[in-house]
Amino acid sequence: MMTTHEPREPERSELFVALPAIDEATTRRLHDRLVREAQTAGLLDVAYRTIDSPVGPLLLAATVKGLVRVAYRCEDHERVLESLARDLSPRILHAPARLDTVAKEIDEYFAGLRHGFDVPVDFSLARGFRRRVLTHLGTISYGQTASYAAVAVAAGNPKAVRAVGTACATNPLPVVVPCHRVVRSDGTIGEYVGGVDAKRALLTLEGAA
Amino acid sequence: MSATLLPFEEIVTTHGPTVLRVCRAILGPMDADDAWSETFLAALRAYPTLRPDTNVEAWLVTIAHRKAIDQTRARARRPIAVDHLPERPAPSEASRWDGDLWAAMQALPFKQRVAVTYHYVVGMPYADVATLTGGSEDAARRAAADGIATLRKTYGEGGPR
Protein backbone atom coordinates (compact mmCIF):
# COMPACT_ATOMS: atom_id res chain seq x y z
CA MET A 1 0.00 0.00 0.00
CA MET A 2 2.64 2.52 1.07
CA THR A 3 5.74 3.08 -0.98
CA THR A 4 9.04 3.01 0.80
CA HIS A 5 10.01 6.30 2.37
CA GLU A 6 12.13 8.48 0.13
CA PRO A 7 14.87 10.40 1.93
CA ARG A 8 13.21 12.85 4.28
CA GLU A 9 13.32 16.33 2.90
CA PRO A 10 15.37 18.88 4.78
CA GLU A 11 12.46 21.33 5.08
CA ARG A 12 10.72 18.73 7.22
CA SER A 13 12.04 19.81 10.55
CA GLU A 14 12.21 23.54 10.02
CA LEU A 15 8.96 24.54 11.72
CA PHE A 16 8.59 21.50 13.94
CA VAL A 17 12.13 21.09 15.16
CA ALA A 18 11.40 22.84 18.46
CA LEU A 19 8.73 20.36 19.56
CA PRO A 20 9.78 18.75 22.82
CA ALA A 21 9.88 15.00 23.26
CA ILE A 22 6.78 13.44 24.76
CA ASP A 23 7.32 13.47 28.53
CA GLU A 24 7.27 10.47 30.89
CA ALA A 25 4.05 11.40 32.66
CA THR A 26 2.13 11.67 29.39
CA THR A 27 3.52 8.39 28.13
CA ARG A 28 2.55 6.64 31.37
CA ARG A 29 -0.94 8.16 31.46
CA LEU A 30 -1.67 7.05 27.89
CA HIS A 31 -0.19 3.61 28.46
CA ASP A 32 -2.23 3.07 31.63
CA ARG A 33 -5.37 4.05 29.79
CA LEU A 34 -4.58 1.69 26.92
CA VAL A 35 -4.05 -1.20 29.35
CA ARG A 36 -7.35 -0.40 31.09
CA GLU A 37 -9.31 -0.18 27.87
CA ALA A 38 -7.63 -3.26 26.38
CA GLN A 39 -8.50 -5.25 29.49
CA THR A 40 -12.13 -4.08 29.36
CA ALA A 41 -12.38 -4.89 25.66
CA GLY A 42 -10.91 -8.36 26.22
CA LEU A 43 -7.87 -7.55 24.08
CA LEU A 44 -5.16 -7.99 26.69
CA ASP A 45 -4.18 -11.55 25.79
CA VAL A 46 -0.87 -11.50 27.67
CA ALA A 47 0.05 -9.16 30.54
CA TYR A 48 3.60 -9.04 31.84
CA ARG A 49 5.84 -7.43 34.40
CA THR A 50 9.25 -8.07 35.93
CA ILE A 51 10.06 -8.44 39.61
CA ASP A 52 13.32 -8.58 41.53
CA SER A 53 14.17 -11.74 43.39
CA PRO A 54 17.18 -13.25 45.16
CA VAL A 55 17.83 -15.26 41.99
CA GLY A 56 17.74 -12.19 39.76
CA PRO A 57 14.96 -10.38 37.92
CA LEU A 58 12.06 -12.61 36.92
CA LEU A 59 9.70 -11.96 34.04
CA LEU A 60 6.09 -12.90 34.84
CA ALA A 61 3.45 -13.24 32.13
CA ALA A 62 -0.22 -14.14 32.45
CA THR A 63 -3.09 -14.86 30.11
CA VAL A 64 -6.70 -14.48 31.25
CA LYS A 65 -6.49 -18.12 32.36
CA GLY A 66 -3.54 -17.64 34.66
CA LEU A 67 0.21 -17.42 34.99
CA VAL A 68 1.67 -18.70 31.74
CA ARG A 69 5.38 -17.88 31.95
CA VAL A 70 8.09 -17.21 34.51
CA ALA A 71 11.51 -16.46 33.02
CA TYR A 72 14.97 -16.00 34.44
CA ARG A 73 17.21 -13.26 33.15
CA CYS A 74 19.47 -15.83 31.48
CA GLU A 75 16.54 -16.75 29.22
CA ASP A 76 16.61 -13.15 27.85
CA HIS A 77 13.31 -11.46 28.70
CA GLU A 78 13.05 -9.72 25.36
CA ARG A 79 13.32 -13.00 23.49
CA VAL A 80 10.86 -14.64 25.85
CA LEU A 81 8.31 -11.93 25.08
CA GLU A 82 8.92 -12.39 21.37
CA SER A 83 8.30 -16.10 21.70
CA LEU A 84 5.10 -15.44 23.65
CA ALA A 85 4.00 -13.18 20.79
CA ARG A 86 4.63 -16.06 18.39
CA ASP A 87 3.29 -18.95 20.48
CA LEU A 88 0.34 -17.33 22.27
CA SER A 89 -0.63 -13.92 20.95
CA PRO A 90 1.12 -10.69 19.95
CA ARG A 91 -1.45 -8.75 22.00
CA ILE A 92 1.05 -8.32 24.81
CA LEU A 93 1.27 -5.31 27.10
CA HIS A 94 3.28 -4.38 30.15
CA ALA A 95 0.41 -4.56 32.65
CA PRO A 96 1.62 -5.25 36.18
CA ALA A 97 -1.80 -5.31 37.86
CA ARG A 98 -2.78 -8.72 36.49
CA LEU A 99 0.35 -10.12 38.14
CA ASP A 100 0.05 -8.46 41.55
CA THR A 101 -1.01 -11.65 43.36
CA VAL A 102 1.69 -13.76 41.71
CA ALA A 103 4.33 -11.16 42.53
CA LYS A 104 3.21 -11.07 46.15
CA GLU A 105 3.27 -14.87 46.46
CA ILE A 106 6.74 -15.10 44.92
CA ASP A 107 7.99 -12.45 47.35
CA GLU A 108 6.52 -14.45 50.23
CA TYR A 109 8.10 -17.63 48.89
CA PHE A 110 11.56 -16.07 48.79
CA ALA A 111 11.00 -14.66 52.27
CA GLY A 112 10.40 -18.23 53.46
CA LEU A 113 6.80 -17.41 54.39
CA ARG A 114 5.10 -19.44 51.68
CA HIS A 115 5.52 -23.11 50.75
CA GLY A 116 3.11 -23.34 47.84
CA PHE A 117 1.41 -21.16 45.22
CA ASP A 118 -2.33 -20.56 44.99
CA VAL A 119 -2.45 -18.70 41.69
CA PRO A 120 -4.12 -20.20 38.64
CA VAL A 121 -1.61 -21.39 36.05
CA ASP A 122 -2.00 -21.74 32.31
CA PHE A 123 -0.04 -24.69 30.86
CA SER A 124 -0.64 -23.59 27.25
CA LEU A 125 3.10 -23.54 26.54
CA ALA A 126 3.63 -27.21 27.43
CA ARG A 127 2.07 -30.09 25.57
CA GLY A 128 1.69 -33.84 25.84
CA PHE A 129 4.10 -35.70 28.07
CA ARG A 130 5.88 -32.49 29.08
CA ARG A 131 2.67 -31.07 30.41
CA ARG A 132 2.00 -34.32 32.27
CA VAL A 133 5.42 -34.08 33.90
CA LEU A 134 4.86 -30.46 34.90
CA THR A 135 1.47 -31.14 36.46
CA HIS A 136 3.05 -33.99 38.39
CA LEU A 137 5.82 -31.75 39.77
CA GLY A 138 3.26 -30.04 41.97
CA THR A 139 3.07 -33.21 44.06
CA ILE A 140 6.72 -32.95 45.16
CA SER A 141 6.33 -30.96 48.36
CA TYR A 142 8.35 -28.01 49.55
CA GLY A 143 11.69 -29.12 50.89
CA GLN A 144 11.55 -32.51 49.16
CA THR A 145 13.35 -33.68 46.03
CA ALA A 146 12.67 -36.43 43.53
CA SER A 147 14.90 -38.03 40.91
CA TYR A 148 14.28 -37.68 37.19
CA ALA A 149 13.71 -41.44 37.13
CA ALA A 150 11.11 -41.27 39.91
CA VAL A 151 9.26 -38.49 38.13
CA ALA A 152 9.28 -40.55 34.92
CA VAL A 153 7.63 -43.42 36.79
CA ALA A 154 5.11 -41.11 38.42
CA ALA A 155 4.25 -39.51 35.08
CA GLY A 156 3.46 -42.96 33.70
CA ASN A 157 6.49 -43.65 31.53
CA PRO A 158 9.44 -45.12 33.44
CA LYS A 159 11.62 -45.14 30.31
CA ALA A 160 11.19 -41.42 29.70
CA VAL A 161 13.88 -40.23 32.10
CA ARG A 162 15.47 -38.07 29.42
CA ALA A 163 12.09 -36.62 28.44
CA VAL A 164 11.55 -35.67 32.08
CA GLY A 165 14.84 -33.82 31.92
CA THR A 166 13.66 -31.99 28.81
CA ALA A 167 10.32 -31.17 30.42
CA CYS A 168 12.14 -29.66 33.39
CA ALA A 169 14.64 -27.80 31.19
CA THR A 170 11.79 -26.27 29.19
CA ASN A 171 9.47 -25.65 32.13
CA PRO A 172 7.66 -22.41 31.22
CA LEU A 173 6.88 -21.77 34.89
CA PRO A 174 10.04 -22.26 36.95
CA VAL A 175 9.87 -21.45 40.68
CA VAL A 176 6.07 -21.77 40.68
CA VAL A 177 6.09 -25.23 39.09
CA PRO A 178 8.96 -26.68 41.11
CA CYS A 179 11.20 -28.35 38.55
CA HIS A 180 14.08 -27.32 40.83
CA ARG A 181 13.02 -30.19 43.14
CA VAL A 182 13.97 -32.76 40.49
CA VAL A 183 17.57 -33.90 40.94
CA ARG A 184 19.80 -36.72 39.69
CA SER A 185 19.54 -40.23 41.10
CA ASP A 186 23.18 -40.02 42.21
CA GLY A 187 22.28 -37.11 44.46
CA THR A 188 23.96 -34.40 42.37
CA ILE A 189 21.88 -31.38 41.67
CA GLY A 190 21.48 -31.64 37.90
CA GLU A 191 20.80 -28.87 35.46
CA TYR A 192 18.31 -26.03 35.71
CA VAL A 193 16.63 -23.56 33.39
CA GLY A 194 17.78 -20.69 35.61
CA GLY A 195 21.30 -22.05 36.06
CA VAL A 196 22.67 -24.41 38.68
CA ASP A 197 23.28 -21.57 41.18
CA ALA A 198 19.63 -20.59 41.12
CA LYS A 199 18.60 -24.22 41.61
CA ARG A 200 20.92 -24.55 44.59
CA ALA A 201 19.59 -21.26 46.02
CA LEU A 202 15.99 -22.50 45.82
CA LEU A 203 16.80 -25.87 47.37
CA THR A 204 18.80 -24.18 50.11
CA LEU A 205 15.90 -21.81 50.78
CA GLU A 206 13.61 -24.81 51.11
CA GLY A 207 16.06 -26.62 53.35
CA ALA A 208 16.46 -29.45 50.88
CA ALA A 209 20.13 -28.98 50.05
CA MET B 1 12.40 -18.49 9.99
CA SER B 2 9.52 -16.37 8.80
CA ALA B 3 9.05 -12.93 10.29
CA THR B 4 6.72 -12.76 13.25
CA LEU B 5 4.92 -9.92 14.95
CA LEU B 6 6.63 -8.18 17.84
CA PRO B 7 4.88 -7.93 21.21
CA PHE B 8 2.42 -5.05 20.95
CA GLU B 9 4.14 -3.31 23.85
CA GLU B 10 7.09 -2.66 21.53
CA ILE B 11 4.78 -1.12 18.96
CA VAL B 12 3.44 1.27 21.60
CA THR B 13 6.93 2.18 22.81
CA THR B 14 8.34 2.71 19.33
CA HIS B 15 5.45 4.49 17.65
CA GLY B 16 3.44 5.97 20.53
CA PRO B 17 5.21 9.35 20.42
CA THR B 18 4.81 9.81 16.67
CA VAL B 19 1.13 8.93 16.81
CA LEU B 20 0.64 11.38 19.67
CA ARG B 21 2.33 14.15 17.66
CA VAL B 22 0.05 13.35 14.75
CA CYS B 23 -3.03 13.48 16.97
CA ARG B 24 -1.93 16.75 18.55
CA ALA B 25 -1.07 18.31 15.21
CA ILE B 26 -4.44 17.42 13.70
CA LEU B 27 -6.73 17.77 16.69
CA GLY B 28 -4.88 19.93 19.19
CA PRO B 29 -3.60 18.79 22.58
CA MET B 30 -6.99 18.46 24.28
CA ASP B 31 -8.56 15.90 21.96
CA ALA B 32 -5.28 14.18 21.13
CA ASP B 33 -5.42 11.76 24.08
CA ASP B 34 -8.75 10.34 23.00
CA ALA B 35 -7.61 9.92 19.41
CA TRP B 36 -4.34 8.29 20.52
CA SER B 37 -6.18 5.83 22.76
CA GLU B 38 -8.73 4.95 20.09
CA THR B 39 -5.95 4.49 17.56
CA PHE B 40 -3.96 2.07 19.70
CA LEU B 41 -7.02 0.15 20.88
CA ALA B 42 -8.12 -0.34 17.26
CA ALA B 43 -4.55 -1.29 16.33
CA LEU B 44 -4.38 -3.81 19.18
CA ARG B 45 -7.63 -5.36 18.01
CA ALA B 46 -6.41 -5.80 14.44
CA TYR B 47 -2.77 -6.53 15.27
CA PRO B 48 -2.76 -10.37 15.20
CA THR B 49 -3.84 -10.36 11.55
CA LEU B 50 -1.30 -7.75 10.43
CA ARG B 51 1.26 -8.98 7.92
CA PRO B 52 4.61 -9.00 9.69
CA ASP B 53 6.30 -7.03 6.89
CA THR B 54 3.83 -4.14 7.10
CA ASN B 55 5.17 -0.62 7.58
CA VAL B 56 3.79 -0.29 11.11
CA GLU B 57 4.19 3.48 11.33
CA ALA B 58 2.20 4.01 8.15
CA TRP B 59 -0.41 1.54 9.35
CA LEU B 60 -0.83 3.37 12.66
CA VAL B 61 -0.97 6.77 10.98
CA THR B 62 -3.70 5.42 8.69
CA ILE B 63 -5.74 4.38 11.73
CA ALA B 64 -5.02 7.71 13.46
CA HIS B 65 -6.17 9.51 10.30
CA ARG B 66 -9.56 7.77 10.44
CA LYS B 67 -9.91 8.52 14.15
CA ALA B 68 -9.03 12.16 13.51
CA ILE B 69 -11.75 12.38 10.87
CA ASP B 70 -14.24 10.80 13.30
CA GLN B 71 -13.28 13.24 16.03
CA THR B 72 -13.39 16.22 13.73
CA ARG B 73 -16.91 15.24 12.69
CA ALA B 74 -17.94 14.64 16.29
CA ARG B 75 -16.51 17.99 17.25
CA ALA B 76 -18.51 19.70 14.53
CA ARG B 77 -21.65 18.15 16.00
CA ARG B 78 -20.87 19.26 19.55
CA PRO B 79 -22.81 22.33 20.71
CA ILE B 80 -20.12 24.59 22.23
CA ALA B 81 -16.49 24.15 23.12
CA VAL B 82 -16.93 23.99 26.91
CA ASP B 83 -16.96 20.26 26.73
CA HIS B 84 -13.55 19.05 27.76
CA LEU B 85 -14.06 16.03 29.95
CA PRO B 86 -13.63 17.25 33.52
CA GLU B 87 -11.79 14.17 34.81
CA ARG B 88 -9.09 14.48 32.20
CA PRO B 89 -5.84 15.56 33.82
CA ALA B 90 -4.44 18.81 32.55
CA PRO B 91 -2.01 17.76 29.83
CA SER B 92 1.13 18.50 31.78
CA GLU B 93 3.12 19.00 28.68
CA ALA B 94 0.59 20.60 26.40
CA SER B 95 1.11 23.86 28.21
CA ARG B 96 4.84 23.65 27.75
CA TRP B 97 4.19 22.48 24.28
CA ASP B 98 4.41 25.02 21.53
CA GLY B 99 0.86 26.15 21.97
CA ASP B 100 1.13 28.84 19.33
CA LEU B 101 2.14 26.33 16.71
CA TRP B 102 -0.76 24.03 17.53
CA ALA B 103 -3.15 26.96 17.58
CA ALA B 104 -1.85 27.98 14.17
CA MET B 105 -2.28 24.38 12.97
CA GLN B 106 -5.87 24.31 14.16
CA ALA B 107 -6.61 27.38 12.07
CA LEU B 108 -5.62 25.54 8.87
CA PRO B 109 -8.25 23.79 6.73
CA PHE B 110 -8.38 20.05 7.52
CA LYS B 111 -6.81 19.04 4.19
CA GLN B 112 -3.82 21.30 4.71
CA ARG B 113 -3.47 20.32 8.35
CA VAL B 114 -3.26 16.59 7.59
CA ALA B 115 -0.93 17.11 4.62
CA VAL B 116 1.42 19.23 6.76
CA THR B 117 1.24 16.69 9.59
CA TYR B 118 1.96 13.60 7.53
CA HIS B 119 4.71 15.16 5.48
CA TYR B 120 6.40 17.46 7.98
CA VAL B 121 5.70 15.82 11.35
CA VAL B 122 5.76 12.14 10.34
CA GLY B 123 8.07 12.53 7.37
CA MET B 124 5.89 10.69 4.85
CA PRO B 125 6.59 11.21 1.14
CA TYR B 126 3.79 13.00 -0.74
CA ALA B 127 2.87 9.81 -2.63
CA ASP B 128 2.02 8.16 0.71
CA VAL B 129 0.24 11.26 1.96
CA ALA B 130 -1.92 11.15 -1.17
CA THR B 131 -2.70 7.45 -0.65
CA LEU B 132 -3.84 8.25 2.85
CA THR B 133 -5.86 11.40 2.23
CA GLY B 134 -7.12 10.64 -1.27
CA GLY B 135 -6.39 12.84 -4.25
CA SER B 136 -3.20 13.19 -6.21
CA GLU B 137 0.38 13.51 -5.09
CA ASP B 138 0.44 17.03 -6.50
CA ALA B 139 -2.65 17.98 -4.55
CA ALA B 140 -1.04 16.70 -1.37
CA ARG B 141 2.11 18.66 -2.14
CA ARG B 142 0.08 21.83 -2.79
CA ALA B 143 -1.99 21.40 0.37
CA ALA B 144 1.16 21.01 2.47
CA ALA B 145 2.85 23.98 0.77
CA ASP B 146 -0.19 26.19 1.32
CA GLY B 147 -0.41 25.06 4.93
CA ILE B 148 3.25 25.76 5.59
CA ALA B 149 3.00 29.17 3.93
CA THR B 150 0.13 30.09 6.25
CA LEU B 151 1.98 28.72 9.29
CA ARG B 152 5.00 30.84 8.45
CA LYS B 153 2.77 33.92 8.49
CA THR B 154 0.70 33.07 11.57
CA TYR B 155 3.36 31.38 13.66
CA GLY B 156 6.60 32.39 12.02
CA GLU B 157 7.58 35.39 14.11
CA GLY B 158 9.49 34.32 17.19
CA GLY B 159 9.18 30.71 16.17
CA PRO B 160 12.04 28.54 14.97
CA ARG B 161 12.72 29.17 11.33
Strands A146-147 and A58-62: unpaired
- Rounded mean pLDDT, B91-103: 58
- Rounded mean pLDDT, B55-63: 96
Active-site amino acid positions of A: 179
Are B120 and A15 an interchain contact pair (Cβ–Cβ within 8 Å)?
yes
| pLDDT tens per residue, range A112-135 | 999 999 999 999 999 999 999 999
pLDDT at site B103? 81
- Mutate which: A3, A12, A15, vs B, most B CBs within 10 A: A15
pLDDT at site B87? 46
**Which of B9, B89, B155 minimises the CB distance to A94?**
B9
A chain contacts of residue B159, beta-carbon cutoff 8 Å: 15, 18
Closest Cα in chain B, distance from residue A99 (Å):
16
pLDDT at site B72? 86
B chain contacts of residue A43, beta-carbon cutoff 8 Å: 41, 44-45
pLDDT at site B79? 63
Q: Give the rounded distance of the alpha carbon of B96 from its chain centre.
A: 19
Are A43 and B44 an interchain contact pair (Cβ–Cβ within 8 Å)?
yes
pTM (two decimals): 0.87
Q: Which residue has the higher pLDDT, B83 or B74?
A: B74
The whole-angstrom separation of Cα B96 and Cα B30 is 13
pLDDT band of B81, cuts 50, 70, 90 = low
A chain contacts of residue B37, beta-carbon cutoff 8 Å: 30, 33-34, 37
pLDDT at site B6? 96
Q: Which residue has the higher pLDDT, A7 or B77?
A: B77
pLDDT exceeds cutoff 80 at B157: no
A chain contacts of residue B101, beta-carbon cutoff 8 Å: 15-16, 18-19
* Structure ipTM: 0.89
**DSSP structure string for B105-154:** HHTS-HHHHHHHIIIIII---HHHHHHHH-S-HHHHHHHHHHHHHHHHHH
Are B151 and A15 an interchain contact pair (Cβ–Cβ within 8 Å)?
yes
Decide: B131 and A1 in contact? Cβ < 8 Å: yes
- Rounded mean pLDDT, B84-113: 67
Three-state SS sequence of chain A: CCCCCCCCCHHHHCCCCCCCCCCHHHHHHHHHHHHHHHHHCCCCCEEEEEECCCCCCEEEEECCCCEEEEEEHHHCHHHHHHHHHHHCCCCEEECHHHHHHHHHHHHHHHCCCCCCCCCCECCCCCCHHHHHHHHHHCCCCCCCCEEHHHHHHHCCCCCCHHHHHHHHHCCCCCCCCCHHHEECCCCCCCCCCCCHHHHHHHHHHCCCC
Average pLDDT, chain A: 91
The whole-angstrom separation of Cα B128 and Cα B133 is 9
